[in-house]
Amino acid sequence: MNIELFFQYLVAGVTYGTIYAIVAIGFNIIYNTTGIINFAQGEFVMLGGMTAVTLHAFLPLPIAILSAVMITMVIGALIEITFIRWLISPSVLRMIIITIGISILVREIALHIWGAGVKALPYFSGTAVSAISIGDVHISPQVLWVIGVSAVMVICLNLFFTYTLPGRQMRACSANRDAARLCGINAKNMVTLSFVLSAGIGALAGCVVSPITYVQYDGGTALAIKGFTVAILGGLGNSMAAVAAGLLLGILESFSIWVMPTAYKDVISISILLLILFVRPSGLFGSKEAAQLKEF
């Protein structure tokens, strides 16, 4: 493999890896406040992309994206309020079944509204063929959009959790729910907020990536599996590790094309998932201490 090809693969890997990381962070946010693994996380990404495409028919791109993100956040809140909020200490299995149910429901509704066709937003800057060239390596500007927007999201989330009152309250709920309630924090609202946040970042990721990967009503499922793999790989609940794990998986997948047929690409993530679950369930970056002192 020559060096240009190497970088081309690397860039593709980083792009996909970033999206996996964002989906994984969505998993982590909800997991941290509730202990729930929300298997409908991928659907937020799909909803964001789809809604933005529809709105873009009559709205300028930035406004369409912004509205799509808002709408998905509202949907996230509604999902939590209708399906999760009223449950009194449900078992993990029950929660898994409920969130899988939600994901199927959302997918079917999306099929009904948008049909089975493949859609995409236009490239944010330039066109599908425009490229920024660094030496012989050509990078689509959209790739920079994906990486840039994701990086900003991760930084903003970090600031949110470290310095704002609701961010601290969410962390308090994940550290000790009863103690948080004894501080006067409404734990149920924090759960709703975690769904809203996850929906928002998922939707935004869905928008920026759609010109490259396209969106389809059932696109969320594959993403959810990848995102879940990454979340487990990094150690559930640990969002910074999710970024590293996401990039790792993206790059691995990307280079796998080079050694085996493209059709086997998804095998990688499933194998990693199984391997990690068997060998090191606390994740690559998870240690026993980290599991005790869990931090975003």
Positions touching other proteins (CB under 8 A) are 165, 168-169, 171-172, 174-176, 178-186, 292-295
Least distance to other proteins from the beta carbon of 96, Å?
24
Q: Are 202 and 72 in contact (CB under 8 A)?
A: yes
Q: Are 72 and 204 in contact (CB under 8 A)?
A: no
> Of the candidates 248, 150, 240, 242, which has an alpha carbon nearest to the alpha carbon of residue 201?
150
Least distance to other proteins from the beta carbon of 98, Å?
22
130/162 with CB nearer other proteins: 162
263/293 with CB nearer other proteins: 293
DSSP 115-166: -S--B-PPPSSS-TT--EEETTEEE-HHHHHHHHHHHHHHHHHHHHHHHSHH
Least distance to other proteins from the beta carbon of 95, Å?
21
Least distance to other proteins from the beta carbon of 32, Å?
10
Least distance to other proteins from the beta carbon of 169, Å?
7
1/182 with CB nearer other proteins: 182
d(CA 274, CA 78): 33
> Of the candidates 205, 182, 211, 180, which has an alpha carbon nearest to the alpha carbon of residue 193?
180
d(CA 110, CA 119): 12
138/181 with CB nearer other proteins: 181
52/170 with CB nearer other proteins: 170
